[in-house]
Structure 1
Amino acid sequence: MIDLAIIGGGPAGLSAGLYATRGGIKNVVLFEKGMPGGQITGSSEIENYPGVKQILSGLDFMEPWQEQCFRFGLKHEMTEISTIKKEGKIFKIFQNDGKVVEAKSVIIATGGRPKRTGIKGENEFWGKGVSTCATCDGFFYKNKEVAVLGGGDTALEEANYLTKMCKKVYVIHRRTEFRAAPITVEHAKNNEKIEFITPAIVEEIKGDNNGVNSIVIKNTQTNQTSQLDVPGIFVFVGYEVNNNILKQDDGSMLCECDQYGSMIVDLNMKTNIEGLFGAGDIRIKASKQVICAAGDGATAALEAIAYLDSHK
């Protein structure tokens, strides 16, 4: 039987594995269907991780994590998990190949993914001018004009954030009304650096070998199209957490989740199910930053150690 199963091999999962094994748990297994590293491996540049002065690609940035995290005995099972159930005090981990593994405790660190729009050029320029993280990529557009697509709280909050370094931010939304909280809308409308383009949609993202250089916008009332010359567009049309493994046979979830499907945890990454922890982007109010996910993983591992010690 596994002492601790970690599901997900991104920054949260790897950090959890490092702290758990170095903290004395003997039998720790990380389940990740591919090579560990997580969503961040798709990033073209990382320059905001403390202590790492070089600007690295996500792939290069995560490479030493694997060596360090497996140094203390963390095991890697390259397999996909279909679901997790708890029977009594034991967790049962069901793999897609039919194998079932038992564990005393579990850390879920499966993360999530921003929704894509399907706009022409989006996939081509993903990470090359198309971004879903103003905190990560906003600095690259210092003193430049950028576009933000979306009308929810995240879109307007990130638009406000981008005005701290960008010369101008165009907010494009398909309706004239916004889903964001009234106070968030008010702050955005009072920001002189933000210009609203509504009701409108983005029909195409254009660029060249250097990345995005313009977007084609269509007014949904007049059907007129126009071109906006910007080197970057930030897309905020929703976020999906990877929570399928929490779904039970009766349609319920293994632990309490919010309306978006994110795991509800406390400051110690504990869920309402004893021995089950959530870390990284899968949890509520996640900052979606590598450093925050790593901190979550460390916290969850320390709590798992305490849990296992108390149930010997």
Structure 2
Amino acid sequence: MKGTNSMFDIIIIGSGPAGLSAAIYAKRANLNVAIAEKEYEGTGQIAESGNVNNYLGLPNINGYDLGEKFREHAVSLDVEFIEKEAVQIEAVQNGEKEESAIYRVKFDDDTIAEARALIYTAGAYPRKAGVPGEDEYTGKGVSYCAICDGAFYKGKTAAVLGGGDTALDDALYLSDICEKVYLVHRRDSFRGAQSTVELLKQKENVELVLNETVTEIYGEKKPTGIKLKSGRTLAVDGVFVAYGSVPQSELIKNLVQLDERGYVVAGEDGITYAATKNGDHDRSVQPGLYVAGDVRTKTLRQVVTAVSDGANAATTAAEYLRDINGYKQNI
């Protein structure tokens, strides 16, 4: 180990919208806060969005620009940034206060930072189709969020890839926007809710393309079609990959409870529950460890909910620190 930094009140893991929002609220509470982020001046996956049209008050803004606005706000409040990758997080019993912990974060250069509370906002990344053209057109006609980007395809043709509830819900949502929706699934039946399948079958503008997989997304500046394993091609304006997402919960999986998909079990307040043995469902709180954004269990994963999560988690963390340390907050 190359040494230990001075103690922070709060360390935030991740500098996406949830992490930056949490930092702003923590600074307003007069707390000593640092954000750890492995990407240089990173702002999370929002930077990869070509256009964000559903964030209140800032319509039709480039995702990179919106992320920069979030970061600039945090910088203006003198939030400290640790531009290193966190590789290990452990909770050490706080000898001064019962029912509290010190969170020790080890980085990829063997340095360590410690804090009395930790807010984990590492997010989740979408599962990709892994076909030619996907990366080339991501943000330019290939999307992983129908609610985010569906409005751009009003009166156009879209393909949804997948067979679970996410894919079914996306296809149903897009059917009210698009002229035509293809739902492409590699099997002859769906894993998702049969009730949604029946609704889709009643939609005249939805075509179920079963026992097929996409082998290529092709086009020029934007996608113009997809090629299927059978050799069939479908002319489309956009492709929605709905294979689900992978939560980045690895660093804290031994500290908190996860659901069956790996998301951290937590509500809007960000409170987490201690990991349990033998898979039981004990709900003892993990003191001082909060989660916010896409990595937690929730229904809607959007920029607006991530920002809200960050604010809630920081407020809860500030109240926790006030209770154990007698700090004054000015939230």
TM-score by length of 1: 0.93
Given the alignment, which residue of 298, 309, 317 partners 1:304?
Answer: 317
1:73 equivalent in alignment to 2:78: yes
Partner of 2:307: 294
Once the two structures are TM-superposed, the CA of residue 60 in structure 1 deviates from its matched residue by 1.2
Q: Describe the SS at the equivalent of 1:107.
A: strand
- Superposed CA offset, 1:73-114 (max 9, x none): 311010100121111121111111111221100000000110
Given the alignment, which residue of 159, 165, 168 partners 2:180?
Answer: 168
- Aligned mates of 2:201, 2:109 — CA distance in 1: 53
Q: Which moved more, 1:288-297 or 1:183-192?
A: 183-192
Partner of 1:186: 198
Does structure 1 retain, via aligned residues, the 8 Å contact 2:23–2:33? yes
- Superposed CA offset, 1:207-230 (max 9, x none): 102x00011123xxxxx3111111
Return closer, same or farther for 1:40/1:286 CA change in 2, 3 Å cut-off: farther
Given the alignment, which residue of 154, 167, 172 partners 1:155?
Answer: 167
- Superposed CA offset, 1:126-162 (max 9, x none): 1111111111111111011111000000000011011
- Aligned mates of 2:267, 2:294 — CA distance in 1: 14
1:278 equivalent in alignment to 2:291: yes
Q: Describe the SS at the equivalent of 2:232.
A: strand
Q: Describe the SS at the equivalent of 2:213.
A: strand
1:1-312 pair list within 5 angstroms: 1-25=7-31, 27-34=32-39, 35-53=41-59, 55-88=60-93, 89-209=101-221, 211-218=222-229, 224-247=230-253, 253-272=254-273, 273-312=286-325
Alpha carbon RMSD of aligned pairs, Å? 1.2
Q: Describe the SS at the equivalent of 1:76.
A: strand
Amino acid corresponding to residue 248 of structure 2 in structure 1: N
Structure 2 gaps, min length 5: 1-6, 94-100, 274-285, 326-331
- Aligned mates of 2:239, 2:116 — CA distance in 1: 45
- Aligned mates of 1:67, 1:285 — CA distance in 2: 28
TM-score by length of 2: 0.88
Once the two structures are TM-superposed, the CA of residue 241 in structure 1 deviates from its matched residue by 1.0
Does structure 1 retain, via aligned residues, the 8 Å contact 2:223–2:237? yes
Structure 1 gaps, min length 5: 219-223, 248-252
* Percentage of pairs with the same residue: 40
- Superposed CA offset, 1:21-60 (max 9, x none): 01221x100001121311010111112111114x221111
Q: Describe the SS at the equivalent of 2:272.
A: coil
Amino acid corresponding to residue 287 of structure 2 in structure 1: E
Does structure 2 retain, via aligned residues, the 8 Å contact 1:3–1:105? yes
After TM superposition, where is structure 1 displaced by more than 3 Å over at least 4 residues in a row? none
Does structure 2 retain, via aligned residues, the 8 Å contact 1:18–1:70? no
Does structure 1 retain, via aligned residues, the 8 Å contact 2:267–2:297? no
Q: Describe the SS at the equivalent of 1:282.
A: coil
Once the two structures are TM-superposed, the CA of residue 184 in structure 1 deviates from its matched residue by 2.5
Does structure 1 retain, via aligned residues, the 8 Å contact 2:145–2:240? yes
- Superposed CA offset, 1:271-293 (max 9, x none): 01111111000001252211110
